[in-house]
Structures are given as structure tokens and as C-alpha cells.
Structure 1
Amino acid sequence: MNTTSHPAPGELVFRDAAEPDVPALADLVESAYRGDSSRTGWTSEADILEGQRTDHAGVRAVITAPGSVLVVVERDGTLVACCQLEHRGEAAYFGMFAVRPGLQGGGLGRVVLAEAERRAKEEWGVREMQMKVISVRDDLIAWYERRGYRRTGRMTPFPYGDERFGLPQRDDLRFELLLKDI
């Protein structure tokens, strides 16, 4: 967490999201995963899912849930990334991770993930980070594996029929649990 009141130009500032951030955060998550704008980056799900990734209600739910925080990452006052941290006993859940598409591939995601792990460990004393990734996202899973996450083979069904999670373009989508000791 940045504690200076005036960050240096180009410095990343991490802070907890608040209600006024909801529209911009929903737009960021959508731009990173859905539609043509997401194709600028490499995390796009546009080929496997259409429709929305989240909405204002979904972002608001993460911000207001007990034991949950949505971390806003800004550079020079501009929203560049975000991620969810949820305290789950001995573990923290990592989700709603988004980096502005034009900034993907430059190391920003790696910095945000490392800060999330540091924060979960120091503030909550957790020993493990957990996340769920769509199992057919091989490039994304490989990226997490390079950062110390391991596949568990533990799958949960994709919520077919619930348009809040998108409109699947294939019938083999599942979530796989990834873990990392921190």
C-alpha cells in the first residue's frame, strides 16, 4: 500500500476500492476480458465467452463483502489494474484480476500479483493463495505456473445458463483451482 500523499510520476498506487470506483472498475474488467477491446491484450476470453464478465452489482458485491477487498491500482491518477482478495481462513482467494489491455505484457500484472500475495500474507497471515481459472486458458495458466502456482486438477462446473458470467461459445468450460504457498 502506498503511504505517500504525493506519489512520484509513474509510481503505482495501490488502494482499496470504494463505491465511486464501481463504474470504472466494471469497465476495466470488461475491457480486459470481453469484446474487441480485450483483443489488444493477451488475457482476452472473447473467443470462448461473449456477453459480460461482470457488472456494477458484481463489482459492488466484491467491495462490500465481509473479508473481501477489491484493490485498485493507479498510475498518475489513472486506473491501470485491479484484483480481488478474499480472506478464507488459512488462504486468500485471488480473483477479478484485470490489467488495462494496452498495458498487458509489460510486467504490470506480475507486480500486481506480487503485491496481492504480499498483502494477503502480511495483513491476514495466510499461507496459501487460491484462484480459479477457466481450464482451457492454457496461456493464462502457464503464466500463473511461472509465478509459482500449481494446477490441482480440482474442477468446478462453469455456470452455464447464468448470463452474469458470460455466454459460453463452447461446451467444455470448467474452472480449475490453482494454488500457491506464500
Structure 2
Amino acid sequence: MPETTREAAETAADRLTFRPATTADVAALVELVESAYRGDSSRAGWTTEADLLEGQRTDVEGVTAAVTHPDGVVLLAERDGELLACCQLERRGEHAYFGMFSVRPGRQGGGVGRAVLGEAERFAAGEWGAAELEMTVIEQRADLIAWYERRGFHRTGVYSPFPYGDERFGIPLRSDLRFEKLVKALTVR
């Protein structure tokens, strides 16, 4: 493919670089996660939880714990030094937990999220030999669950309660929130 054609064919996601987060990235990560899920800024993207929850989505302590977890990594997706997305991976035996997945609201819908998920799958399978990626999603987020299903995740019917009363996870706007576990088989490369 000629160089100009290749450049024209690149998508926004193709130009991403990935790296593990450090404690120096914590403040930027908190801001990114909050912007993707809570408050008015989150409404610019489609991953908002603003109709389900108010308050915070995460905090410095939670993000620091994820970044420094001995069996985990927080992957950053950047372009030209700008933080566009992130996700958390935690090794749990033969599977890996996938969480804290956030894409800057103005960058959603352009393939960035798909690229981050692909890198997470590559890392979990390739670096850890994980056979499966698992996550939890608020059951009421049908649009988000459908997105994951289109990418190979399966609903398990296994539910866990929302942590009502613990404002570190937000202030619920309804009384029926719960999480469903989703899983995806990985191919070790």
C-alpha cells in the first residue's frame, strides 16, 4: 500500500500508543474516569452513568490502588502525549479482570475504545496467559452491554449488588442497580 494511502487509511485508534500508568498519572486518570461517566461533561459521550448515579465514580485512593496493585496494570492510551483512554487489568488466576475502562467523551465512537479493549486482550493473554477476560457492568446499561456483546463478551447471569451507602462509588438515583458479570474467552498468543 503506498505511504499516502496507508496514512489516509489510519484511524484515530491506529495512532494510539499504550503504556502502563505510574503514580504520576493518578490525577489525570481520576479526571479522565470522572469525565467519561459522571456529570455534565460525561453527556458528551455515550458511556455516561449520569442518569443512574451522581457523585464520584472513583477517587485518588482507588486509582492509586489500581496503579500499584502487584497483580495488575492500568494501561493508558495516548496520542501525541494526550491521555485519551485507560483500562485496568488485574490477574486473577487463569482469567483477568477488566475495569476502569474510560475514553474521553469527545473521543468516543471513533474506535479508541475498541483499540483499548484489543490491547487489554492482547496484554492479558500474551503477558499473563489469561484464558478469559471478565468484567462487571451495571445491568441497566443495556447499550454498553450490547457493545461488549458485539465484541465477544457473554452475559453470565451472575449478579452482584451495587454498593449502596458507599459514596466512593457514587450516589444512586434508583434503587434497583446491580452488576452483571460478563466474560470473553481469550486466545493465548
Same fold (TM over 0.5): yes
Q: How many residues align?
A: 173
Within the candidate set 71, 82, 101, 1:67 is matched to 71
CA displacement, residues 121-179 of structure 1 (integer Å, 9 cap, x when unaligned)? 00000100000000000000000000000000100000000000000000010000000
**How far apart are the structure 2 equivalents of 1:180 and 1:20?**
31
Q: Within 5 Å, which residues of 2 pair with 1:100-111?
A: 100-111=104-115
Gaps of 5+ in 1: 1-9
Cα drift, residue 104 of structure 1: 0.3
Gaps of 5+ in 2: 1-11
Equivalent in the alignment of 2:129: 125
Q: Within 5 Å, which residues of 2 pair with 1:31-50?
A: 31-50=35-54
**How far apart are the structure 2 equivalents of 1:33 and 1:180?**
23
Equivalent in the alignment of 1:85: 89
Equivalent in the alignment of 1:6: none
The TM-score with structure 1 as length reference comes to 0.94
Tell me which stretches of 4 or more aligned residues in structure 1 moved more than 2 Å.
none
CA displacement, residues 22-50 of structure 1 (integer Å, 9 cap, x when unaligned)? 00000000000000000000000000000
Say which structure is richer in helix: 2
Within the candidate set 94, 98, 109, 1:94 is matched to 98
Q: Within 5 Å, which residues of 2 pair with 1:1-182?
A: 11-182=15-186
**How far apart are the structure 2 equivalents of 1:21 and 1:86?**
18
The structure whose Rg is larger is 2
CA displacement, residues 47-77 of structure 1 (integer Å, 9 cap, x when unaligned)? 0000000011110010111101111111010
Of 25-34 and 62-71, more deviation after overlay is shown by 62-71
**How far apart are the structure 2 equivalents of 1:105 and 1:50?**
24
CA RMSD between the two structures: 0.7
The one-letter amino acid paired with 1:90 is: E
Of 62-71 and 94-103, more deviation after overlay is shown by 62-71
**How far apart are the structure 2 equivalents of 1:21 and 1:73?**
12
